[in-house]
A = this chain, B = another copy of it.
Amino acid sequence: MASSAALSTIRSNCRKVMCIGRNYADHVKELNNQRPKQPFFFLKPPSSILLPSEGPVLRPSGVNLHFEIELGLVIGKRIQNLDTEDDGEILQYIDSYLLAIDMTGRNVQEEAKKKGLPWSIAKGFDTFLPIVGPISKSTIADPHSVELYLKVNGEVKQQDSTELMLFRIPRQLSDISKVMTLEPGDMVLTGTPKGVGSVVTGDVMECGLRVGGKEVEEARMRVE
């Protein structure tokens, strides 16, 4: 299937997007957050998904728009009450991988945090979830050994390996599945490494991922 048809299908089948927060130590520090004792999660709505052919991320007026590059999983098999820390065991539940940008209204989120309000608005605007892929499980043999990068106007802003995750994927999926069932088609975003920052209208984000130092072509994305 051509990548754009496959991505359209992935969007159509997606009923929830679960994102892990604060999953890389240096990113926790850069936002002056506390390092979590256990993974925590939030939802983005499927309506925020933006495919490569669909134009720019839209910055709502007054919003400080931040990028967060993340490795995404597309769930292939229902997960309920899973209990494992085993890397091999979780592969059966993953259909494929995505590269995703968890766009965030940082000032909206900061205000919500101060007031104890939900994050759904800060994280959920239309176009706030550019995705590219899918990337097959044969291409990414080990999801904990992938280099993610994101450049803004040619300058590298984020570039780190997924081996730096504080909570690895089996723990993430286990913890989510004890709260809510993961259904085929659901997406999980696995957190962002350090280097998040603002973009303004006209900026160009380019991102991708490397496996064993080699660029994976299906994961290249350019978003205005």
Q: What's the number of copies of this chain in the assembled complex?
A: 2
Of B14, B16, B114, the contact of A116 (CB 8 Å cutoff): B114
Q: Say if the beta carbon of A191 comes within 8 Å of chain B.
A: no
CB distance from A44 to the nearest CB of B (A): 8
Q: How large is the interface on A (under 10, 10 to 19, 20 to 34, 35 or more residues)?
A: 35 or more
Chain A contacts with B in 143-195, Cβ cutoff 8 A: 178-183, 186
Question: In the assembled complex, which residues on chain B have CB atoms less than 8 Å from the CB atom of A40?
Answer: 117-118, 121
Q: Tell which of B14, B46, B114, B120 touches A42, judged by Cβ atoms closer than 8 Å.
A: B120
Q: Are B15 and A47 in contact (CB under 8 A)?
A: yes
**Contact yes or no, B180 A47, CB < 8 A:** yes
- How far is B41's CA from A116's CA once the two chains are assembled, in angstroms? 13
Q: A46 — which chain B residues lie within 8 A by C-beta?
A: 15-16
- Hey, what's the 0/1 contact readout for A41-58 against B, CB within 8 Å counting as 1? 111011110000000000
Once A16-B46, A43-B124 are accepted as A-B contacts, the answer to whether A116 and B118 lie under 8 Å apart by CB is no
Chain A 16-32 near chain B by CB (<8 Å), digits 1 or 0: 10100100000000000
A14 CA to B47 CA in the complex, in Å?
12
Give 1 or 0 for each of A119-144: 1 = CB within 8 Å of chain B CB.
11100111000000000000000000
Interface centre among A41, A45, A80 (most CB of B within 10 A): A45
Q: Which residues of A contact B (CB under 8 A)?
A: 14-16, 18, 21, 34, 40-43, 45-48, 60, 80, 112-121, 124-126, 178-183, 186
List 20 additional contacts besides A14-B15, A18-B45, A34-B115; criterion CB under 8 Å: A15-B15, A15-B46, A40-B121, A41-B118, A41-B121, A43-B118, A43-B124, A47-B183, A47-B186, A60-B178, A112-B116, A113-B116, A114-B116, A118-B119, A119-B120, A120-B120, A124-B179, A125-B179, A126-B180, A126-B181
